[in-house]
Amino acid sequence: MKTMEITFARNLVKGKIAETVFAQMLRSTGQFTVLEFGYEKIIPELVGRGKSENDEMVEALRTAPDFAVINNKTKEVHLIEVKYRHNFSNSAVLSIAKRMSASWNPSYLFVATVEGFYFGEVRDIIKRKGKIDLLNHPQISKKTQENFLKILNDFES
């Protein structure tokens, strides 16, 4: 396998690990219902029902966030994109936020890094030129985050 193919495969796997860590971390609190929502889940169903992959609606769904998360207490629903970044930068976060903002408002971005988890509303990230805060949520304790960060980092090499 070529070096670029290996790098692509590793990044793909790390992205899936970040999505799994995110979903399991939220589920572990018992406070959230986490539904897979992303492009990979939606498009095959639509194409199977006769929609073309070039259809306008299908094209808009290409940027669909990975998850719909329901707060079990408040019933609020948030659409959340999950990304893994080994090398974290505000410019990369801003680029992701701008792409999401074009089709999905409001939506949120969760970034998993080896140092910690970041979370913010896409509109705020754009206003702040890519700055995103560490995850700080009353229902997701620091201890819970530490436990899931360890899982994420177990796969880092």
Domain count, the chain: 1
pTM: predicted TM-score of the whole model, two decimal places: 0.88
User: Is residue 128 situated within a structural domain?
Assistant: yes
Per the structure block, which two tokens stand in for 108?
A: 């949120």
Strand order in the sheet with 108-112: 32-36, 67-71, 77-84, 108-112, 117-121, 133-134
Are residues 133 and 113 in contact, defined by beta-carbon separation less than 8 angstroms? no
Q: What is the pLDDT of residues 8-36, one digit of tens each?
A: 888 888 899 999 999 999 999 999 999 99
Q: Are 47 and 41 in contact (CB under 8 A)?
A: no
Give a yes or no: residue 87 inside a domain.
Answer: yes
Tell me if 45 is assigned to some domain: no
Query: Which residues are 41's β-sheet partners?
Result: none
Full residue range of the structural domain in which residue 145 is found: 13-34+64-154
Closest Cα to residue 86, out of 119, 111, 122, 120? 111
Q: Which pLDDT score is estimated for 49? A: 64
In a domain, 4, yes or no: no
Q: CA-to-CA distance for 131 and 146, rounded, in angstroms?
A: 22
Return the closest-CA partner of residue 109 out of 67, 76, 148. 67
Percent of the chain with pLDDT over 90: 65
107, part of any domain: yes
pLDDT computed for residue 109 by the predictor: 98
- Please check whether residue 97 lies inside any domain of the structure: yes
Confidence label for 48 from pLDDT (cuts 50, 70 and 90) = low
Q: Of 66, 43, 64, whose CA–CA distance to 55 is shortest?
A: 43
Residue 46 falls inside a structural domain: no
Q: What is the CATH number of the domain that holds 140?
A: 3.40.1350
Q: What is the pLDDT of residue 51?
A: 57
Does any domain span residue 21?
yes
Among 49-53, 92-96, 145-149, where is mean pLDDT lowest?
Answer: 49-53
Find tokens 């974290």 and name the residue.
Answer: 88
Burial of residue 19 (number of CB atoms within 10 Å: 0-12, 13-18, 19+) = buried
Whether pLDDT at 53 is above 70: no
Q: Which of 101-105, 117-121, 137-141 has the lowest mean pLDDT?
A: 101-105
